[in-house]
């Protein structure tokens, strides 16, 4: 059961947003309590759905006055339990703050509220003949406030950066209800401390992001997509290096997947087919883009692949001859999470290392976990160009799912140790949230942790913002 909040206090909070937007009914609260992997179940006595920044401000002022803990929630697609009320906190849903306040094509910026769904931002950018590049599996339901608060990554980081790199300004409601208007839309501004980047990636523990100024980019007019077979992660890395050297930021994606991943897709995804005649141990998906109509990105792709063939890096390659074929290559990559679910239990790691260390991380991780669980099926895939892999393991075919999943902690610990030994990160994209909070003492040097705690105490002295998360 949720911590009791006195009915009269619930009534005070409800009065701030109107009864219609103050949810206490067990059934209606349910969607805010469950997250997509079903790893956690929330216990919130109250969900508030404010319709304005002023209402968010009033809620936090009252929360601060009464010492009431608040968990901000966007599209509820987070993977580390950061958006869940674990201990009876109030859930503050930002989904009604969903206006696109303005689009400025001259400045290549857009000002949006926290509750706008990522796909709606894509559409608005497209209408202005621009690109907003952030791209994630959950883009149909995740909200930009959550993307900002978790510094979301995705498949376009290589050329465009993480969410942090895509934002110029923020509006934030602070723990005591004060509103910081930092909605600047400047490319250069050296007037004091960079507060914006404190809130980006803080997972709602330092303030609640209510709006942001996002960067827009020219739309790609020409694209080339290739699916290449390589012998090993080291060969995949060599192919990445060649592509990066030749294409620079026109290399807009470089993703690796193992044969078993393709096997899973072929087995479970209707209409999928192997782009190659023969099986190969590893594959790399390469994408090049140019905003210039008529730019010969195919020639650039050819130059990359020719070099790679000559160097013996690539064993086979298919270049998409049509948009449909490019989409089919991408589908293989994008189906990987889903098809793993159909192969039984899956233990997931979201890790990064310096790019050159990826092969060593893979070799050590696969060897270690294979020794722990004979027959385990490693399915590491993802953003090799960023040094970031989803280093997942599917259960052995002949093992009970529960027995395998009971190894979650042991496997993630083993992978984390390898990653840390290579100066990597145990959470490259997904954040710390609730899931990894207990690891912070282990992974951070004490000075860094002390600074984080000091900043938390400074900006949220009563500890009401998403308590029990991150620090």
- Minimum distance, C-beta of residue 301 to its own copies, in the bound complex (Å): 11
**Cα(180)–Cα(222) distance, integer angstroms:** 41
Measured over the CA atoms of residue 34, residue 40, residue 45 and residue 49, the dihedral's sign is negative
Q: How far is the CB of 63 from its own copies (least distance, A)?
A: 18
Residue from 45, 78, 146, 201 that binds its own copies (CB under 8 A)? 201
Judged by CB under 8 A, the residue of 103, 428, 464, 465 near its own copies is: 428
Query: What backbone phi and psi angles, to 5 degrees, belong to 166?
Result: -105, 10
Question: Is residue 237 near its own copies by the rule CB under 8 A?
Answer: yes
Shorter beta-carbon distance to its own copies: residue 395 or 416 = 416
In angstroms, give the least distance from the CB of 450 to its own copies.
8
Residues 157-196 within binding reach of its own copies (CB under 8 A): 157, 159, 161-162, 164-165, 174, 178-182, 184-195
Nearer to its own copies, 19 or 296 (CB): 296
Query: Is residue 352 involved in binding its own copies (CB under 8 A)?
Result: yes
Cβ proximity to its own copies: between 71 and 237 the closer is 237
- The yes or no reply on residue 444 touching its own copies (CB under 8 A) is yes
CA nearest neighbour of 329 among 238, 181, 226, 415: 226
Q: Which of 53, 90, 200, 236 binds its own copies (CB under 8 A)?
A: 200
Q: Which is nearer to its own copies, 44 or 230 (CB)?
A: 230
Q: How far is the CB of 202 from its own copies (least distance, A)?
A: 6
- The three-state DSSP-derived secondary structure of the chain is CCCCCCHHHHHHHHHHHCHHHEECCHHHHHHHHECCCCCCECCCCCEECCCCHHHHHHHHHHHHHHCCCEEEECCCCCCCCCCCCCCCCEEEECCCCCCEEEEECCCCEEEEECCCEHHHHHHHHHHCCEECCCCCCCCCCCEHHHHHHCCCCCCCHHHHCCHHHHEEEEEEECCCCCEEEECCCCCCCCCCCCCHHHHCCCCCCCCEEEEEEEECEECCCEEEEEEEEECCHHHHHHHHHHHHHHHHHHEEEEEEEEHHHHHHHHHHCCCCCCCCCCCCCEEEEEEEEECCCCCCHHHHHHHHHHHHHHCCCEEEEEECCCHHHHHHHHHHHHCHHHHHHCCCCEECCEEECCHHHHHHHHHHHHHHHHHHCCCCEEEEEEEHHHCEEEEEEECCCCCCHHHHHCCHHHHHHHHHHHHHHCCCECECCCCCCCCCHHHHHHHCCHHHHHHHHHHHHHHCCCCCECCCCCC
Q: Which is nearer to its own copies, 84 or 159 (CB)?
A: 159
| C-alpha–C-alpha distance, residues 238 and 225, integer Å | 18
Single out the residue of 229, 197, 210 nearest to residue 58, CA to CA.
210
Q: Under rule CB under 8 A, which residues in 392-421 are in contact with its own copies?
A: none
* 244 part of the interface to its own copies, by CB under 8 A: yes
Interaction of residue 23 with its own copies, rule CB under 8 A? no
Two structure tokens written together for 167 = 């934002």
The residue within the footprint of its own copies, chosen from 69, 166, 265, 353 (CB under 8 A), is 353
Number of residues that bind its own copies (CB under 8 A): 96
**196 or 377, CB closer to its own copies?**
196
For residue 162, what are its two tokens? 């993480």
Tokens of 65: 């006055």
- Rule CB under 8 A: choose which of 429, 434, 460, 465 binds its own copies: 429
Closest distance of CB 118 from its own copies, Å: 17
Q: Which of 75, 387, 467, 468 binds its own copies (CB under 8 A)?
A: 387
In the region spanning residues 445 to 464, those forming contacts with its own copies, defined by CB under 8 A, are 445, 447-448, 450-452, 454-459
**Among positive and negative, which fits the CA dihedral 98, 138, 122, 251?**
positive
102 binds its own copies (CB under 8 A): no
What is the spatial distance between Cα 281 and Cα 262, in angstroms, rounded to a whole number?
10
Provide the minimum distance between the beta carbon of 55 and its own copies in the complex, in angstroms, as a whole number: 18
The CB-of-240 to its own copies minimum distance in angstroms stands at 10
Of the ranges 115-123, 318-326, 339-347, 436-444, which one interacts with its own copies (CB under 8 A)? 436-444
Among 112, 116, 426, 464, binds its own copies (CB under 8 A): 426
For residue 379, the minimal CB distance to its own copies (Å) is 19
The CB-of-30 to its own copies minimum distance in angstroms stands at: 28
Q: Which of positions 286-305 make contact with its own copies (CB under 8 A)?
A: 290-296, 300, 303
**Among residues 20 and 293, whose Cβ is nearest to its own copies?**
293
Q: Please tell me whether residue 111 binds its own copies under the rule CB under 8 A.
A: no
Q: Which is nearer to its own copies, 190 or 322 (CB)?
A: 190
Per-residue mark of binding to its own copies, 138-157 (x: CB under 8 A): ------------xx-x---x
110 binds its own copies (CB under 8 A): no
- Residues in region 63-92 near its own copies by CB under 8 A: none
């Amino acid at each position: 059961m949720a911590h009791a909040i006195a009915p009269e206090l619930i009534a005070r909070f409800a009065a701030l947003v109107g009864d219609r937007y103050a949810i206490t009914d067990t059934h209606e609260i349910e969607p805010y309590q469950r997250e997509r992997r079903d790893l956690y179940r929330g216990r919130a006595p109250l969900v508030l759905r404010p319709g304005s920044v002023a209402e968010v401000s009033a809620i936090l002022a009252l929360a601060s006055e009464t010492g009431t803990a608040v968990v901000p929630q966007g599209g509820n697609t987070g993977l580390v339990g950061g958006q869940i009320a674990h201990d009876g906190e109030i859930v503050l849903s930002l989904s009604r703050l969903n206006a696109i306040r303005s689009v400025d094509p001259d400045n290549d910026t857009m000002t949006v509220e926290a509750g706008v769904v990522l796909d709606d931002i894509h559409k608005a950018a497209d209408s202005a003949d621009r690109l907003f590049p952030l791209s994630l599996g959950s883009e149909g339901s995740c909200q930009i406030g959550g993307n900002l608060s978790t510094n979301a990554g995705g498949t376009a980081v290589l050329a465009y950066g993480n969410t942090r790199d895509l934002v110029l300004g923020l509006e934030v409601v602070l723990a005591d209800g004060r509103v910081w208007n930092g909605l600047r839309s400047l490319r250069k501004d050296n007037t004091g401390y960079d507060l914006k980047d404190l809130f980006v990636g803080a997972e709602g523990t330092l303030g609640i992001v209510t709006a942001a100024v996002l960067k827009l980019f020219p739309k790609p007019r020409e694209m080339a997509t290739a699916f290449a077979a390589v012998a090993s992660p080291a060969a995949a890395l060599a192919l990445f290096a060649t592509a990066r050297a030749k294409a620079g930021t026109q290399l807009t994606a470089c993703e690796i997947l193992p044969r078993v991943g393709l096997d899973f897709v072929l087995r479970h995804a209707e209409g999928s087919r192997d782009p190659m005649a023969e099986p190969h141990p590893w594959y790399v998906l390469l994408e090049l883009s140019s905003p210039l109509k008529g730019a010969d990105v195919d020639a650039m792709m050819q130059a990359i692949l020719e070099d790679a063939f000559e160097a013996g890096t690539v064993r086979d390659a298919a270049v998409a001859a049509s948009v449909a074929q490019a989409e089919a290559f991408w589908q293989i990559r994008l189906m990987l999470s889903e098809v793993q679910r159909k192969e039984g239990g899956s233990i997931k790691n979201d890790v990064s290392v310096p790019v050159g260390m990826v092969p060593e991380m893979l070799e050590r991780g696969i060897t270690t976990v294979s020794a722990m669980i004979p027959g385990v099926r490693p399915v590491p895939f993802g953003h090799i160009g960023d040094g970031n892999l989803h280093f997942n393991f599917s259960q052995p075919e002949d093992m009970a799912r529960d027995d395998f999943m009971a190894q979650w902690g042991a496997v993630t610990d083993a992978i984390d140790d390898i990653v840390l030994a290579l100066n990597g990160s145990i959470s490259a994209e997904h954040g710390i949230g609730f899931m990894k909070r207990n690891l912070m003492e282990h992974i951070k040097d004490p000075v860094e942790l002390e600074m984080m705690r000091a900043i938390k105490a400074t900006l949220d002295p009563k500890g009401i913002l998403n308590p029990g998360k991150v620090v």
